[in-house]
Structure 1
Amino acid sequence: MSRVAYSAHKVGSMHHRLRFIFATATIFGATFLLVSINDISKMFNINYNPLILVADTVNNASNHSEDSSFTIRTEGCTIPGLQPLDDSIRRYVSYPSGMHTCRNATVALLDSNSTHIWLRQENKKYYNIINDHRFFCCYRSFYRPVSVEDISSPKNDDRVSYRNCIYFNEAIEVKDEFVNIICKYNKKRVYEQFFIFVIELNSEIAGKKPKSDSSYNVVIMGIDAVSRLNFHRTMPNTLKFLKDNGAVELLGYNKVGDNTFPNLIPMLLGIRDVDINITCAPRPLSTFDNCPFIWEWFRQAGYYTALGEDSGSLGTFNYLKVGFARKPTDYYIHTFINEAEHRVGNNKDFNSNLCMNDKYFYKVLLDYVERLMITLRSRRFFGFFWEVTMSHDYLNYPMKMDQDYEKFFRRIQNENILDDTFLFLVSDHGIRWGDIRHTKQGRLEERLPFVYVLVPQSFKQNYTLAFNNLKLNSHRLTSPFDLHSTLNDLVDLDRLKDITSRSKQLYWKDRSISLFLPIPTNRSCSLAGIEDHWCTCHQARKLSTNSIEAIEASAQLIRHLNLIVDSYKMCAKLKLSETIDIMEMQSNVNDITEGIIANWREFMVVVRSSPGGGIFEATLRQDPSGWSLSGTISRLNLYGDQSRCVSNSHLKLYCFCL
């Protein structure tokens, strides 16, 4: 996700080696690699079950006849089998023990529930509050104004208005959605915090419909920059809950773009991110208000809608983008998160403020989602939520979130929320930089994010064929485009009554196929709309970095980089410093015919450029007419302040400012 001011520090290269032992055990008739329970438990400080690390292999071996040496193996796509603790990546896995906790996390001065905010009397001593007559707190609610002074202003999505103070010194009832509290002792500020509440809107005015037996809530929860296997490694307790509750895991889910934005737009709009420029946001300062996001279809069907991220500055639609002039959904928390981030955000670690004073931002988002689901349980509800602060910059930081996510799922399960809710837990891509990215497995993991789908039991019974197709597709090549078609089906469940006849239609060449339809076995990356540079179905043959192919491909990559920055005089012209790696990409059977007819060869090359030492990876195609770039160019190391002179998120990857 290229939406951050990267530092030069290498991420994911913590060199604490885990101690592993090999043991042999027979489980479901198969032999697996086990990890020392004591070593892992001590290091991770969690209830860590080593069998979870090979759960994917266990499931494949016990439930499917496919060769476990492949992640998926179909006529159109073969993805090699990957292990969470492969020898090539073990040294990058360690518990992030050096990460700072939120300040004052155990001595917060205020607490809240769904209706009140109150003073924690037992913690007054930590703020030297000894005379109650000299202590008071100011309760200020705030909101997003309806009017927009300048629709083209990059800051219009950040607009905010505060109401007057209401003073209290013990407790106060809450009747507002967004609240800021400032507490003073002897006229000096001693504490400030933000609180978010769920206020149920007037459903009659909003045109919302009560939930019926034939409708389901739909909730998408994202965790940024976590590959499928890194999810296995870092969030084993959450993984166990999902598997124990029958979540469907998409093993062949392949990203379609470099960072977050080009992978979420296909999911939420069904088009490529570049198509936005000709459809609904034609200018650099265009807002996204005219874009037909999937939540619009749910809104028209009578659903409450919600959009929330745990960072305002790094938001999907706000980082170097204009965002929204109007509220895009009924519940939209950008105003709250943005204010909290700027006023009490702390514990900055690389690009993110991890904490909202004494509480992690990811936890703020989790608690909000839970309250929203409980409050709206009698109504139809669609929500899209995205976590970025903890997972974006570090390979192992998701370990810190594991127990909180598991507890979240258990709480909403105990509230019976999952009985009538489709819940998608997803990511956009794996970690895109750092030492692990230079390994073969790291390159594949970066292209293979995770998707888990928790399906209500009643859906499994009422739409058996659709559910069976979903399970079948867990071993097929899929992409964010397919999630969009799946969400469209959930807007109108009547579409699922016609699955049998729809399955007979000629949809197999479609870029976007609902997961409730059987995805054909001959589906390849080209049919799925996945550019060769991101395709994990291709096999690779390593070449010498001194070969003619390496010399020519490297020169072409540098030429393409300079074409990108050529119009920006503040950016240096780049030169080739080193060819780090080159592989010839060999397509699957379905694509070979096309290659023979076109007489082309494809190479994935990694180079280091100067000035700046940028490391870039690209796929280049050679045919009789010359060389061409296939897909976009990836940057594998962080650029720090090298690109300070440009504000374009794409250009920041390549520009070395003079």
Structure 2
Amino acid sequence: MYLSNYATAPHLDTLYETFVQDSYTIRTEGCSIPALHPLDAGIKEFVKYPESVKSCLNSKSPFLENNTTHIWIKKENVMHYNVSDDSFLCCYRSFYRPSSVKDIHSAKIDDRVEYRKCKHFKAIIEANDEFVHVVCYTRARILYQQYYLFVVNKELSWDSAVNARKNKTSYNVIILGIDAVSRLNFYRTMPKTLNFLTRKGAIELKGYNKVGDNTFPNLIPMLLGIRESELKKTCVPNPKYTFFDNCPFIWDWYKEAGYYTALGEDSASLGTFNYLRGGFARNPTDYYLRTFIREAEKNVGNNKDFNSLLCMNNKYFYRVLLDYIENLLIKMRSSRLFGFFWEVTMSHDYLNYPMLMDFFYEQFFKNLDHQKVLEDTIIFLVSDHGIRWGNIRATKQGRLEERLPFVHILVPDSFKKKYNEAYSNLKLNRQRLTTPFNLYTTLNDLIDLSNIENSNIKSRSQKSYWRERAISLFLPLPGNRTCSIADIDDHWCTCHRERKISTESVEALLAANYILKEINNLVHNYKLCSVLNITEIVDATELEAGTEEDSEVSWREYMVVLRTSPGGAVFESTVRDYGTRWSLIGTISRLNLYGYQSHCIDNYNLKLYCYCL
């Protein structure tokens, strides 16, 4: 199955003319983002169905089956394990994350786990626990083992329970993330899901611009309303112990308002708050999946594809997460839930792998629709950035796509009617420059819906807030909003006009050498890292920053791509020339994978730049 099965799906065919006719993705007084087409001639060659991916179903037929309440022996598959019905036994063991903390400074504090005693069964057993491990064995060998995730009832604190009774008319609020998918790659690779969202009237933010390089600096503004660089003075004062328990996450405010809260990712090893970081010393939310995912990943995880273990025995990890979200929302009909969920295993490393998930995401949304869950749930389907490496990233469109992730916001019909002023503004903001900061303020508005009643929206719209970076999407974003106002570094800004310059020009050489000096300075204190040299200036562009009205500037900006040795790393950065000095604008991006090259250091920021001796 190739591209024709996906990129020429009926829904994309109907969109083809729209993309051709558009001269701009968005065009406002403050920001014009050039038009991009998902099947541009320079992009199409990179888009193919990933046939070589090994299916989780290639493993032996499962010995066990389960639903939302029980686990049982799948009798028709027993024959595949060369065992008779009466010669084996199964051990059901629940496990959990203990509440006590022995060493608050332990780097493994978020990894702690305890298992309860076995409950043996030979046919079927009721599951009354959240996390379960089952091993079936004979005297001589283990036949099969698997991990199971169930939704169990939990109690709210007294204060939260009181507030929950006041919030009966509110909505579930769910953030559903898919890592590293640009707005246009979502069109190319997940047309079935896109088609469902479009039919349901989801709002797409066409001008959603990332504010940092990778996942973490784009999720911190969404979940905390601050930059990654502001964490140190806010809630993570000591970078040696990067635990996030003191950080005021958006889910804390929802919990205070009477919501149940959930945090789940489909990978523990690549977890947003755990990859080369400390995670959480205490459970950050009522439902916290890391303990389950880590144990399953460690013991039955398989089918590793570059950075990720894709499968939990015979089931994709992303499907484990989707099934759990669906069960959680159905189970909690009489309560309200705020959930932050993030998929990374399939989409993080490869441009086309989201094609494999499209059918199941579509089914997920259809199931929620059939169960009428969407009638009282607001869903933010989002990404953090586009693909950050590979052949597509070397193209101009690939560079822009990397800075323009997708966001689709699905709200119930009752919301559209009751909060019609807020909804009208949300539709208006489809064509505005937006960022994760805007999502944070929008999520805040949904905690107390009186914030977005028509009278309050009209009153708030009269206030002078246009220079703020974090304006709610339920208010009309001003048309003169620029990257500077939105707090987007020029390096990530997609609004700028560009002019190619020679890679052999004085400006390109000076800019490239300044970038190289900054890279070597970053790893200067790490003696196991090589000093890098420039082997090639791959590309050089002058950026015309600001609006057409900004006629006088005292500096010039250049975006340069260079290749270094040893190691062949490819870096991209934007620098500003003030005439007498240079400065970096934003961070230095790496456009190819570092793999094992930086094995000698564990600083997650500096791994991009270190080539170990």
2-structure distance, mates of 1:210, 1:272: 34
Structure 1 counterpart of 2:39, from 71, 85, 89: 85
- Extract unaligned runs of 5+ from structure 2: none
**Bigger shift: 506-515 or 102-111?**
102-111
In structure 2, the partner of 1:146 is: 99
Q: Deviations over 1:26-75 (max 9, x none)?
A: xxxxxxxxxxxxx713xx5x9x62442663864x89xxxxx711000000
Give the 3 Å change call, closer, same or farther, for CA 106–502 of structure 1 in structure 2: farther
Aligned residue type for 1:571 = C
CA contact (8 A) 2:544 2:557 kept: yes
CA contact (8 A) 1:53 1:85 kept: no
In structure 1, the partner of 2:232 is: 277
Say if 2:4 is the partner of 1:40.
Answer: yes
Say if 2:573 is the partner of 1:618.
Answer: yes
In structure 1, the partner of 2:458 is: 500
2-structure distance, mates of 1:113, 1:380: 23
Say if 2:24 is the partner of 1:55.
Answer: no
Aligned residue type for 1:125 = M
Q: Deviations over 1:483-522 (max 9, x none)?
A: 0000000011111121111111110000101000000000
In structure 1, the partner of 2:109 is: 156
CA contact (8 A) 2:221 2:227 kept: yes
1-structure distance, mates of 2:546, 2:28: 10
Pairwise CA distance, 1:169: 1.2
1-structure distance, mates of 2:153, 2:447: 22
SS of the residue corresponding to residue 631 of structure 1 reads strand
Structure 1 counterpart of 2:51, from 83, 93, 97: 97
Give the 3 Å change call, closer, same or farther, for CA 148–320 of structure 1 in structure 2: same
CA contact (8 A) 1:54 1:84 kept: no
2-structure distance, mates of 1:608, 1:201: 54
In structure 2, the partner of 1:421 is: 377
CA contact (8 A) 2:63 2:73 kept: yes
Length-normalised TM-score, structure 1: 0.90
Structure 1 counterpart of 2:204, from 235, 246, 249: 249
Q: Deviations over 1:537-570 (max 9, x none)?
A: 0111111111111111111110111111111111
Q: Deviations over 1:370-391 (max 9, x none)?
A: 0000011110110000000000
1-structure distance, mates of 2:152, 2:16: 41
Instruction: Note the 1:391-470 alignment, pairs <5 A.
Output: 391-470=347-426
2-structure distance, mates of 1:507, 1:84: 35
CA contact (8 A) 1:114 1:197 kept: yes
Instruction: Note the 1:270-349 alignment, pairs <5 A.
Output: 270-283=225-238, 284-349=240-305
2-structure distance, mates of 1:571, 1:164: 48
In structure 1, the partner of 2:68 is: 114
2-structure distance, mates of 1:452, 1:96: 25
Pairwise CA distance, 1:148: 0.8
In structure 2, the partner of 1:629 is: 584
2-structure distance, mates of 1:81, 1:75: 16
Aligned residue type for 1:159 = R
Give the 3 Å change call, closer, same or farther, for CA 608–345 of structure 1 in structure 2: same
1-structure distance, mates of 2:483, 2:580: 24
In structure 2, the partner of 1:194 is: 147
In structure 1, the partner of 2:495 is: 537
CA contact (8 A) 1:533 1:619 kept: yes
SS of the residue corresponding to residue 321 of structure 1 reads coil
CA RMSD after TM alignment: 1.7
CA contact (8 A) 1:620 1:630 kept: yes
Q: Deviations over 1:325-357 (max 9, x none)?
A: 000000001000000000000000000000001
Say if 2:478 is the partner of 1:524.
Answer: no
SS of the residue corresponding to residue 192 of structure 1 reads strand
Say if 2:541 is the partner of 1:583.
Answer: yes
In structure 1, the partner of 2:512 is: 554
2-structure distance, mates of 1:555, 1:580: 13
Pairwise CA distance, 1:625: 2.7
Give the 3 Å change call, closer, same or farther, for CA 228–54 of structure 1 in structure 2: farther
Pairwise CA distance, 1:151: 1.2
Instruction: Note the 1:346-357 alignment, pairs <5 A.
Output: 346-357=302-313
CA contact (8 A) 2:167 2:258 kept: no
Say if 2:528 is the partner of 1:570.
Answer: yes
SS of the residue corresponding to residue 656 of structure 1 reads coil
Give the 3 Å change call, closer, same or farther, for CA 399–186 of structure 1 in structure 2: same
Instruction: Note the 1:211-226 alignment, pairs <5 A.
Output: 214-226=169-181
SS of the residue corresponding to residue 134 of structure 1 reads coil
Pairwise CA distance, 1:425: 0.2
CA contact (8 A) 2:72 2:125 kept: yes
Instruction: Note the 1:354-373 alignment, pairs <5 A.
Output: 354-373=310-329
In structure 2, the partner of 1:22 is: none
Q: Deviations over 1:100-139 (max 9, x none)?
A: 011555711111111100111111111112x222111110
CA contact (8 A) 2:95 2:115 kept: yes
Pairwise CA distance, 1:624: 2.4
2-structure distance, mates of 1:127, 1:237: 38
2-structure distance, mates of 1:149, 1:533: 44
Equivalent pairs counted in the alignment come to: 608
CA contact (8 A) 1:53 1:236 kept: no
Give the 3 Å change call, closer, same or farther, for CA 589–56 of structure 1 in structure 2: farther
2-structure distance, mates of 1:537, 1:623: 21
2-structure distance, mates of 1:78, 1:483: 21
1-structure distance, mates of 2:335, 2:186: 32
2-structure distance, mates of 1:582, 1:136: 66
SS of the residue corresponding to residue 257 of structure 1 reads coil
Give the 3 Å change call, closer, same or farther, for CA 416–601 of structure 1 in structure 2: same
2-structure distance, mates of 1:633, 1:349: 26
SS of the residue corresponding to residue 402 of structure 2 reads helix
In structure 1, the partner of 2:120 is: 167
In structure 2, the partner of 1:511 is: 469
CA contact (8 A) 1:437 1:446 kept: yes
CA contact (8 A) 2:11 2:195 kept: no
Give the 3 Å change call, closer, same or farther, for CA 147–590 of structure 1 in structure 2: farther
Give the 3 Å change call, closer, same or farther, for CA 104–121 of structure 1 in structure 2: farther
CA contact (8 A) 2:160 2:257 kept: no
1-structure distance, mates of 2:458, 2:415: 16
**Bigger shift: 106-115 or 197-206?**
197-206
1-structure distance, mates of 2:206, 2:251: 26
SS of the residue corresponding to residue 92 of structure 1 reads coil
Pairwise CA distance, 1:185: 2.8
2-structure distance, mates of 1:588, 1:274: 24
CA contact (8 A) 1:264 1:428 kept: yes
Structure 1 counterpart of 2:445, from 475, 479, 489: 489
2-structure distance, mates of 1:243, 1:467: 16
1-structure distance, mates of 2:118, 2:286: 26
Give the 3 Å change call, closer, same or farther, for CA 388–54 of structure 1 in structure 2: farther
- Extract unaligned runs of 5+ from structure 1: 1-15, 19-38, 62-66
Q: Deviations over 1:264-299 (max 9, x none)?
A: 000000000111111101112131000000000000
Pairwise CA distance, 1:361: 0.2
Aligned residue type for 1:308 = G
Aligned residue type for 2:372 = N
Aligned residue type for 2:524 = D
CA contact (8 A) 2:375 2:412 kept: yes
1-structure distance, mates of 2:60, 2:45: 33
SS of the residue corresponding to residue 377 of structure 1 reads coil
